[in-house]
Each structure stands twice: as C-alpha cells, then as structure tokens.
Structure 1
C-alpha cells in the first residue's frame, strides 16, 4: 500500500510539473513571437535602407548629371564600387567580423556620399559621392547577410527572408521617395535622403534582439556578441557591444587568433561556383539585359482615349512605356523576394538554375518581339497585357533567384559543437556569393547598350521609328 501510495504521489507531482511546464511554454510564446518579429523587422530595415539609396540615385540619374553626360556612367558608378566591395572584402578580411564597426562605417559612408552628391554640382564630385554610397551599399549587403548566419539555422533563414523582402521594397519605396522630393531639386531632394542611413544603426542597437534575449527564449541563435561567440579581447578590446563573456576566455585561447587564409577561402568557394554563383549571375545578366537593353525599345503607339479609356490613362505618351515596365518589374521583384518571409516554401537547391532558364526564354521572346513585331500593334488590349505578364514573370524569377540562393546557403548543415573556424567559414561562404549579382548587372550594362541600339535599328528598318523619339 505504501508503494502504491508513493507511486500515486509521484504521478501527481509529475502531472503538476508537466502542467507547470506547459503553462510556462504557453506564457513564453508571446515573448518568443515578439523577439522573432523584432528579428524580422530588423533585417527588413537593413535590406530596405541598404538598397534604397541605390534606387534613389538611379531614379535621379537624369537630374544628377547634365544631358551631355551618358546616364550609363551613373549606373557604372552606382554598381562598380559595390561589386568591388562584395568581391574583395570577404578575401581581405582576416579573423572574425566586427559587426558594430561595419554597421557604423557603412552608415558614415552612405551619409558622406549623399552629402557630396547634394552639396557639389560638378559631375566628378557627384560621381565620387555616388561611388561612396555604392561601396557602402555593397559592404552593407555583405555585412547583413553574414550577420544572419550568426543566428540558428531556422532564424538565419527567417533573417535572410526578411532582408531580401526589404531589398525588394527598396525598389518601390526608393523610386517613390525620389518622385516626392525631386520637386525640391537635387540639393534639397538628395539632402533629405541623408537621414535614411541612420535608421540602420538605430535598428541594430535598439531593435535587433540582443544576445541575452535570444538565449532566454532559446529560439534564436546567439548574436555575434554572445559569450559563446565572444570576440577575442586582444583583437578589439574597445567594442561597445561586446559583453563580459569574453573575460572568461582562457588565456591560451586569447593568444590563438583564428583567421582563414586566402588559400583556404578559395577552397571553400570552389564548390559554390556552379551550385549558387552561376545561377545568380545568369539571372542578373539576363534580367538587366532585358531591363536596360530591351525594355526601352518596347514602345507602341499611344492608345486612343475613346477606344482604350483605361490604357490611355496609363500611357499618355510613348515615354510612359519604359517607366511603366520598370514599375511592373520592381513590383514583382518585391513580391518574389518576400516569398520566404510570407511563408511560401523555398525552392529546392536542384531548382535554383530554373529562374535563369525562364529568364532566357523571356529575353529571347521580348527581343524577337522588339525586333520583328510579333504582337499586333493595333491591338494594345492584347499586346500590352502580354508584355506586362512577361516582365512580371521576369521580376518573379529575379526575386526568387536572389532570396533562394542566399536562403539555401544559410541552411547548410552545421556542426553540433561549432568552432570559431566553422563560424568564420559559414560567414565567408554567404559573403562570397554576393558579387555574383553585381557582376551580372555590370556585364549586362555593357551588353545592353549595343542591344538597345541594334533593336532600335531593326524597328526602323521595318518602318517603326517610335524608339527614336524617346
């Protein structure tokens, strides 16, 4: 009887403990959801602010330089420094990443670049300012993608999804902001944009979940300044975000500075070339060749208000076609880059080349339409929706390629007990991918110029000279 009674007592206590544990879990869920929400908002803001200046500069290209200056020069200065940062920085960097200094440095360069653009009227100085802002954008994208890998596998994917969504929103918000402030002129309009970079460090310091909060919920991996991933004191003793966990590091560990060599980094990057880099490069090469080389030639007679009352409101002149195609493209890029943050399943790794294949079909179809006029120009109610759908699909493919490539590389299997070396390898791998899209855009800008000219000549040869009037 005593044994049965004691067992009964144990069962009662066990049930009480289970109920208490269940209640505690339920009580923690709102806190956990709140922290995950803060993590998503933080990375959304990182992506938005990091890319919005790039979009503003491209939107303001016509106003930044005199008519005699090729607008492609603005595009080059807005891309080349960013590409240089993405290509060189992962290999130049030695040891662990100082995220606090990176975030503050990117903010400083962005503000400085926009101030130079706003305060100087000379072409050379404005191109210098654009280059500074571009370098900051490239380094910033590299930094925030690497920062996402310092969280757990699940939350790393969550962070990348929201960062990609923010970069997609930058296309719409940046163009909209310049449309609003352009009336003030370049000096005041660009000057008003200089406050935007300050949002990033504010989000980093005051919104991004701290290491202690992440460890309390046990649902998000530790940030770079947690005790388990504490910077080595001898390397940077003055970093304000580093906590007291670093003081507990043994003396023999303090003296051992782990840093990947260039040779080791090249070994790491080799398997990524075909798996991740080539699909991303191909998508952006095709995408920006369409945007810069083919879309400007997709012009048609202005719809007549009586027969096409809706289309005539959208296209008041032939100069309205290209901005409309860009708006369609940016809108669908935003939707597709937000696919993972919206809860849609990511593409399998084996299907990462698929967006590039679809892009190639779209490029070929639009080039043939531009050159030979396959669609009837006297039926805009048919022709314009078809072009709309094709450019929308182009944007979807571009956005899906971007978010899924970075998502998949962040989801690669990790060791149970991670070492400092494995963490640096993970940061390097996601950072090394970033130059692929920039290289694709830069290559496309070189291909697009002769493509646009040849397509326009083909239209003139068949008696259509609308492209000459833009």
Structure 2
C-alpha cells in the first residue's frame, strides 16, 4: 500500500513537473500582451489628441501675428469642430467599409500634414487648412480607436481615455514650453512631427493581436452587475451578425438604446465648453497679481489637469449613472454664469477650484460613458455602439459654440 501510494505520489509529482511549466508561458504571454495593449492605447490616445491641441495654439498664434481683421476665433472654431462633426455623423453609416489600418494611416498623414501646413503658413487660409487636417485626424482617430477597443479587454478604454486626457495637458505645456525656450512656432511645430510617427508605430508595432476568447476581461463583480443595454431578445437583433453586419433598422435600435448615455455626455460637453468658450475670458479678477492673459492660461491649465485626472480614474471608481455628472456640470455653468453678471465671488482661487472640478466632471463623464457602453452592449453590437457614441462630445461642443460665442460677444459689448 505504501509502495503503491508512494509510486502514485511520485507519478503525480513527475506529472506536475512535466505539466507545470506549460501554463506559465501562456500566462506570461497574456500579461505581456496586456501591458503592450495598455501602453499602446495610452500612446494612441495621447498622439491622437496631441496634434489637435497643439494646432489650436499654433493657429491662434499665427492669426495674432498676422493681425487679421475681424474675430478669427469663430473661423478657427468652425475649422476645429465641423470636420470632426461630419466624420462622427457619417461613421455609423459607412466608415466600416474602410479597414482599420488605412484609417490609421489617413489619421497619421493628416496629423503630420497639419504640422507642416501651419508651420509654413503665411496666410489665414493655410492656417485654417492645418486646423482642418488636425480635426480630421483627431475625429477619424477617435472613432477608429474607440471602435477598435471592442476587440480588446475593456481595460484598454481606461488607458485610451487617460492618454487623451494627457494630450490636453502635455500638448499645451510642450508648445508653450518650447516657444518660451526660444524656438519659433515654425520650428516648434516641425519638431513635433514625431507625434504622428509615434501614433503609427504604436498601432502597427506595439498593439498585439486582439484577444478573441476574452474581449471583456472584466471582474466577476462587473460581470454580475452587467445588464444588457439593448433588448437582445428582439428577433431582429437575434438575427444580427457580428461587428458591422447590421441592417439600418438594427443600427437604429442599437442607437436608441445608447441614448441614455449619449444625451448626458452631450449635456456635459455643452455645459463644459459653454464655460470654456463663453465665460473664461469674462471671469476676470482685479484683486490679484495675475494679468488677464495669465488668469486665462491658469483656467485652461487647471481644466486640462482635472480632465486628465478623471479620465485616468476608472480603476479607482466607476460611475454608472452619468446623468448625475450632467446635472452637476449644468449647475456649474449656471453658477459661473451668475457670477459673470453679479461678480459675487470674492477670490480667483474659488474659481480655480470650480474649474478644476469642471474638468473632473467632464473627464469622468467621458471615460465612464464609454466604459458603461462597452460593459452593457453585446459583443456583436459593441464595435458599432462605440463608434455611434463618439458623436456625443463633438455635438455638445458644437451646440455650445452656437450659443456661447454670441453670448460672449454680447457680454463684451455691454458698457
């Protein structure tokens, strides 16, 4: 008995020795792939929005240098928003006909073209063309990479969002720092041509093949809490295929199911950019050593810092009901708009805190909206749903521009 038991133990030990190393390699490969994908999507988020942020700063500098007549900020805003809006409106209808790799190439080429055009610009029209290219690159890239997250573990959404938040902070800081260090705007822009190259390298060489078996990668708690966003019991959706193999009727059904997340995000961005475009320059304090321009720059920096922090916060906390964020951002807008008329806030530091809070709300709304959509849509609808929901932020920004800029001009004309 002991001999048989001992032989059984020896046999199991030898079997463990033979079989133990085998699971290690896949586990290590999976962990390596996880970090490659995480870093890859962070870099893609950074590069995708980086040129967009830098282009706006550079275009405004060139417009000021040329001392053009009239208010050119409206033209810059249109060149900045309209191409992205058109791309995101058309994306759910036919962008899937173009494979991912050509889309990424187009995005990278447009980003590089925007740097070159604005660097060598000698006219307002050329500068605006550079902003248009940056807008095409950013809009096309956002739709493409958010759709691409449907084939990877859901954790990459957090990394993508963090990268886009970092772009606002690092893009503005790098352009400001290089120009303040003595580089001309032209040489500063040309030195940033490495950003589109980094975007292409991250996509083609850093990302691993999508994990087909476990695209979710969610925790058990998330799995237990998961509820279908779309009524998948309907016959139409049961017959749908994977990816974009959906009829127009099925896409409309999916889109209607997304409205509970799209509408709050539209409201968040409407209130957010109404504050940024219409109120920042009017929130001026005399009882401080900061000049008007310095106060405005502090507002922008604190806003971008708040966005970066909250877009990177998904692993710390998850907000399911994004309607609350929309309500809080609208209250933010009402409070600051009231202060513009009544000037009741005694210190600029209170405004600093409110603007930091504004950025935190906006970033949290973005990352949690797309995380919730990824969590609550079925596998065959996720790619389409992520692309369709991309319209939210751009639509909110566009609506705020329609109202905020005329209001800003009206308030500035008051005696």
What is the alpha-carbon distance in structure 1 between the residues aligned to residue 410 and residue 391 of structure 2? 29
- In the TM superposition, structure 1's runs of 4+ consecutive aligned residues that sit over 6 Å from their partners are 218-222
1:179 counterpart (176, 180, 184): 176
Structure-1 separation of matches of 2:149 and 2:35: 15
Match of 1:252 in 2: none
What CA deviation, in whole Å up to 9, does each residue of 1:89-134 have, x standing for no partner?
Answer: 2212355x62111111211122223322223312222212221221
| Residue aligning to 2:342 | 372
Equivalent residue, structure 2, for 1:335: 309
Q: CA deviation at 1:11?
A: 5.4
Contact 2:370 2:386 in 1 (8 A): yes
- Counterpart-to-counterpart distance in 1, 2:301 and 2:262: 27
Question: Aligned residue for 2:292?
Answer: 318
Distance 2:10 2:348 in 1: 72
Residue of structure 2 in register with 1:407 after alignment: 371
1:290 to 263, 271, 275: 275
Shift in Å at residue 407 of structure 1? Answer: 1.0
1:85 aligns to 2:41 (yes or no): no
**What residue is the counterpart of 2:161 in the other structure?**
164
- 8 Å contact 1:294–1:451 — kept in the other structure? no
TM-score, with normalisation over the residues of structure 2? 0.84
Residue 149 of structure 1 aligns to a residue whose secondary structure is helix
Work out the CA distance in 2 between the residues paired with 1:220 and 1:412.
13
The question of whether the paired residues in 2 share the 8 Å contact of 1:362 and 1:390 is answered with yes
Deviations 1:374-394 (A, max 9, x none): 123xxxxxx222111111110
| Contact 1:38–1:207 (Cα < 8 Å) also in 2 | yes
* Unmatched tracts of structure 1, length 5 or more: 223-256, 304-311, 377-382, 416-421, 461-470
Asked whether the equivalents of residues 83 and 139 of structure 2 are also in contact (C-alpha less than 8 Å), the reply is yes
CA distance in 2, matches of 1:116, 1:35: 37
* Residue matched to 2:144: 143
Residue 300 of structure 1: aligned partner: 285
Aligned to 1:449: 405
- Return the index of the structure with the highest Cα Rg: 1
Equivalent in the alignment of 2:229:
none
Q: Which residue of 1 aligns with 2:358?
A: 394
What's the counterpart of residue 42 of structure 1? 40
Residues 79 and 438, structure 1, Cα contact 8 Å, conserved in 2? yes
Q: Which blocks of at least 5 consecutive residues in structure 2 are unaligned? A: 218-242
Contact 1:371 1:455 in 2 (8 A): no
Aligned residue in 2 for 1:234: none
Normalising by structure 1, we get a TM-score of 0.75
Report the alpha carbon displacement of residue 354 of structure 1 after superposing the two structures with TM.
1.2
Quote how far apart the aligned CAs of 1:16 are: 5.3
Count of aligned positions: 384
Note the alpha carbon deviations across 1:28-55, whole angstroms, 9 max, x for none: 6554433221111100111011001111
Q: Distance in 1 between matches of 2:214 and 2:18?
A: 20
SS at match of 1:93: helix
Q: Which moved more, 1:139-148 or 1:103-112?
A: 103-112
